[in-house]
């Protein structure tokens, strides 16, 4: 689970400091930096996925999670003299124990269930550089930083915050050379493990154990969803998710069904086929009565998604019902398709949904997050989604630690983040001005117009 992100000089964010909940809501005006916050996390993920280890940052392209252009496009104020700097902290799925490389296999040197990383990226002579790298673990910090003003020679140092568990790196004889800089923005160079006898423990922080594992847990659904199709071709592929635009939603349903994956609604409820759980929520949202995916003819690999609007209506294709069904379907499938413990980023899941459905979707996000141990970060313009989150806090169904709410705004091209402080009654104590427009002024203006129109009508009579 992501706990905290501190970020400097990324797009409109000169400075950002955010603490995440199990469900985090990002609200605010257009072009206020909400999407940029998600884009940074996706930038880290696609950089991790890049096969080119020489890429400090993978700015992306048309088929990537984000397409950020160049460093100049990305850095705050387009000032290439600035350094993009971040610290990311997260909780581990279980306690990580690091053995003492100089002792017995059973000797535990450090242990913790939390970890952090700090890094900074700058551009010099049109080349990107990772200026430093630091991992935070237990009471230790392991740093790779430049020697003096050099961009080619780096030093590896531990920094113990307490007197317990002191550690120092031991040089391998005959390997007294300086180290090169970080690989990508999160990897210690391979030479660190050969120049020092006891530096192999660094791999536990970088690779499959922690940082890369964290990036693999992040899944994303964008704000623009594909239109439903009259038929879908599926040859047995197992997609990792539903796609950025929800284009692999039906593939995911068919894949889970073919593997006889079951899900339940939590508590003591019975397990049901994957497709049945999705159909359940579509019905609970009052969008349709039934939902199923069937093959057109055996062995054709062509499938159709069919729905019934109500019990007495004729079954029709997904393309022949309201657009909202196909827009919310990817969000529901993603919540149940990804592995437990995943981190889901969603942009505007409420698009094309009736207000009551937006409120219901908030409940589903809360329910599935708790039941499947998911972390969900939602960027939204929905007042109805926000109010449902507030209501559940007021009802003591979820705590203010579980739900974190933020408002983003922009002044002079610089984004600002405001922590919306909810009390135990679900009330926001620092409600921003014009959060969803000036509602009371609108109501007053409507009443004023009604009175004037009535006066005018009575005068004419």
Alpha helices in 285-376 (DSSP H): 323-337, 355-371
Within 13 A of 416's CA, how many CA atoms are on the CB side?
7
Return d(Cα 358, Cα 238) in angstroms, integer. 29
Asked if residue 274 belongs to a domain, the reply is: yes
Asked if residue 288 belongs to a domain, the reply is: yes
Taking a C-beta distance cutoff of 8 angstroms, is the pair 277, 336 a contact? Answer: yes
How buried is residue 80: exposed, middle or buried, by Cβ count under 10 Å (0-12/13-18/19+)? middle
Asked if residue 65 belongs to a domain, the reply is: no
Asked if residue 155 belongs to a domain, the reply is: no
The residues, any chain, with a CB within 8 Å of residue 240's CB and separated by 6 or more, are 219
Asked if residue 301 belongs to a domain, the reply is: yes
Q: CA end-to-end span of the chain, whole Å?
A: 68
Return d(Cα 261, Cα 367) in angstroms, integer. 19
Return d(Cα 27, Cα 32) in angstroms, integer. 9
Q: Coil, helix or strand for 295?
A: strand
Asked if residue 420 belongs to a domain, the reply is: no
Q: Coil, helix or strand for 383?
A: helix
Give Dmax over CA atoms of the chain in angstroms: 104
How buried is residue 141: exposed, middle or buried, by Cβ count under 10 Å (0-12/13-18/19+)? middle
Side-by-side strand order, sheet with 375-379:
218-221, 343-347, 375-379, 23-28, 403-411, 414-419
Asked if residue 38 belongs to a domain, the reply is: no
Q: Which domain holds residue 325?
A: 225-337
Domain count, the chain: 1
pLDDT tens, residue order, the chain (461 aa): 999 999 999 999 999 999 999 999 999 888 888 999 999 999 999 999 999 999 999 999 888 999 999 999 999 999 999 999 999 999 998 898 887 766 666 778 888 999 999 999 999 988 999 999 999 998 889 999 998 777 789 999 887 664 455 778 888 877 678 899 999 999 999 998 888 888 888 888 877 568 999 999 999 999 989 999 999 999 999 999 999 999 999 999 999 999 999 999 988 889 999 999 999 999 999 999 999 999 999 989 999 999 999 999 999 999 998 888 999 999 999 999 999 999 999 999 998 899 999 999 999 999 999 999 999 999 999 999 999 999 999 999 999 999 999 999 988 889 999 999 888 888 888 887 767 665 545 555 666 676 777 777 777 76
CA 43 and chain centroid, separation: 11
Q: Of the candidates 116, 141, 75, 21, which has an alpha carbon nearest to the alpha carbon of residue 398?
A: 21
Taking a C-beta distance cutoff of 8 angstroms, is the pair 352, 323 a contact? Answer: yes
Q: If you write DSSP's letter for every residue of 141-186 in order, what string do you get?
A: EEEEEESTT-SS-EEEEEEESSSTT-----BPTT--PPB---BTTT
Q: Where are the beta strands (DSSP E) in 180-225?
A: 218-221
The residues, any chain, with a CB within 8 Å of residue 153's CB and separated by 6 or more, are 146, 147, 178, 179, 180
Asked if residue 261 belongs to a domain, the reply is: yes
Report the alpha-carbon angle 208-210-216, nearest 5.
65
């Amino acid at each position: 689970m992501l706990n905290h992100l501190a970020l400097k000089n990324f797009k409109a964010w000169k400075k950002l400091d955010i603490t995440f909940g199990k469900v985090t809501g990002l609200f605010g005006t257009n072009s206020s930096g909400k999407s940029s916050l998600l884009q940074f996390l996706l930038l880290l993920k696609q950089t991790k996925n890049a096969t080119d280890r020489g890429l400090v940052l993978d700015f992306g392209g048309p088929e990537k999670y984000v397409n950020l252009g160049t460093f100049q496009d990305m850095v705050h104020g387009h000032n290439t003299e600035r350094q993009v700097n971040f610290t990311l902290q997260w909780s581990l799925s279980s306690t990580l124990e690091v053995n003492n490389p100089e002792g017995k296999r059973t000797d535990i040197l450090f242990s913790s269930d939390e970890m952090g990383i700090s890094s900074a990226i700058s551009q010099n002579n049109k080349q990107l550089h990772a200026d430093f790298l630091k991992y935070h673990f237990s009471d230790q910090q392991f740093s790779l930083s430049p020697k003096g003003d050099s961009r080619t020679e780096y030093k590896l140092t531990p920094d113990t915050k307490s007197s317990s568990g002191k550690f120092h790196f031991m040089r391998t004889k005959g390997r007294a050379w300086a180290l090169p800089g970080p690989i990508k923005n999160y990897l210690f160079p391979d030479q660190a493990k050969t120049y020092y006898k006891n530096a192999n423990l660094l791999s536990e922080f970088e690779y499959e154990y922690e940082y890369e594992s964290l990036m693999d847990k992040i899944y994303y659904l964008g704000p623009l969803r594909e239109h439903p199709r009259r038929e879908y071709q599926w040859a047995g592929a197992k997609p990792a998710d539903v796609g950025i635009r929800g284009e692999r939603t039906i593939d995911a349903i068919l894949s889970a069904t073919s593997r006889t994956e079951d899900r339940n609604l939590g508590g003591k409820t019975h397990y049901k086929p994957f497709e049945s759980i999705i159909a359940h929520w579509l019905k609970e949202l009052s969008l349709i009565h039934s939902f199923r995916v069937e093959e057109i003819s055996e062995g054709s690999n062509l499938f159709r998604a069919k729905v019934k609007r109500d019990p007495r209506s004729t079954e029709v294709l997904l393309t022949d019902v309201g657009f909202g069904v196909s827009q919310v379907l990817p969000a529901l499938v993603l919540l149940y398709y990804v592995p437990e413990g995943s981190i889901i980023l969603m942009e505007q899941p409420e698009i094309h949904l009736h207000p009551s459905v937006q409120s219901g979707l908030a409940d589903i996000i809360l329910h599935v997050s708790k039941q499947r141990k998911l972390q969900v970060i939602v960027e939204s313009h929905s007042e109805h989604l926000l109010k449902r989150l507030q209501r559940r806090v007021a009802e003591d169904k979820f705590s203010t630690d579980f739900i974190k709410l933020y408002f983003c705004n922009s002044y002079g091209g610089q984004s600002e983040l405001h922590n919306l402080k909810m009390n135990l009654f679900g009330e926001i104590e620092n409600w921003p001005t014009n959060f969803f427009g000036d509602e009371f002024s609108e109501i007053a203006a409507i009443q004023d117009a009604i009175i004037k129109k009535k006066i005018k009508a009575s005068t004419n009579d």
